[in-house]
Each structure stands twice: as C-alpha cells, then as structure tokens.
Amino acid sequence: MPVPTYDVLLETTAVISTILQFLSGVIICRKYIQKKSTGDSSGLPFVCGFLSTSFWLRYGLLTDEHSVVLVNIIGSFLFLCYTLVYYIFSVNKKSYLRQFGIVLCMLLGVWYYTNSIELEAEKIRLMGLICCIITVCFFAAPLTMLIHVIRMKIQKVYPSH
C-alpha cells in the first residue's frame, strides 16, 4: 500500500476539519429545537455561512478542485438546513427572510456576472476575491452576538441609556 503524499494528507485533513467546523451549527440548532425558539440570537452566521459555502462551491467548479467542491456541497447543504431551522424557530421571521433574500440576490447576481465574463482566468480571479471577502464576513458574523451582549451589559449598568 503506497504512503499518501504530503498534498493528499493535507487535503484530506483540510476537508475533514472544514466539515467538522461546518457541523458546529448542529449543536446550536439542537438548542433552538429544544427551546422551540431562537431567542435573541442572530441568524446572520447561518446566512453568511450559506453564502460563503455557495460562493466557494462556484469557485471549486470553476477551478475543477474536487475537494473544494465536495466540502462546499456539504457546507451549502448544512447551512441551508441551519437557516431553515433558524427560520422555523425565529421570533422575527420577516427580518430573517429579508436577510436570506439579500443573500440569494447576491448569490444569483455574482453567479450571473461571472458567467458573463469571457476569460476563464478572470472569472476565477474575481470569484476567488469575492470568496475571500465573504469568508471574512462569515467568520466575523458571530461578532454580532458579541455586540448584542455588550449592549445588554451596558443597559444593565446604565439603564437610562
């Protein structure tokens, strides 16, 4: 049996760790289901996760990177499920639908725009840039909860503000 090369080992590790990271939403959704409510938590990380994985899926298809395609098919499916669970138990469905609608418009707009670019290298470059920007937003999305916690603490300390 041949020993896997460094690239194969690194690729496999990256795929597994990324999928495990994407599965962290299961714990959060399980709490929503148990409580039958999302409470005052934000669904933005799920929406951003769906957008990010969908864009990376597009990038993987353009570059013919099988591991990127595999990871992001799984990621897009998981984040779509998380989004659905959040919506079902959300107290503010209208606002969440608006967020998801904006994400879908962005997704379709970028997909349409990149299809209109004739040079394959330019498509890939633009899609890679968009993916990087959205991924930063995806990882920053949980910070919305931090802002909320800080506001609540300030209101407790200074109730008149």
Kindly list the domain boundaries of the chain, sorted by start residue.
6-157
pLDDT of residue 59: 96
| Residue that has been written with the tokens 């934000």 in this structure | 42
Quick one: CA torsion of 13, 15, 17, 20, rounded to 10 degrees? Answer: -150
User: What is the rounded CA–CA span in Å between residue 143 and residue 53?
Assistant: 19
Question: Quick one: tokens of 53?
Answer: 């994985």
Mind listing the pLDDT tens digit for each residue in 79-115? 999 999 999 999 889 989 999 999 999 999 999 999 9
Closest CA to 59 of 129, 139, 141, 140: 129
Mind listing the pLDDT tens digit for each residue in 145-156? 677 778 777 877
- Are 130 and 55 within 8 A, CB to CB? yes
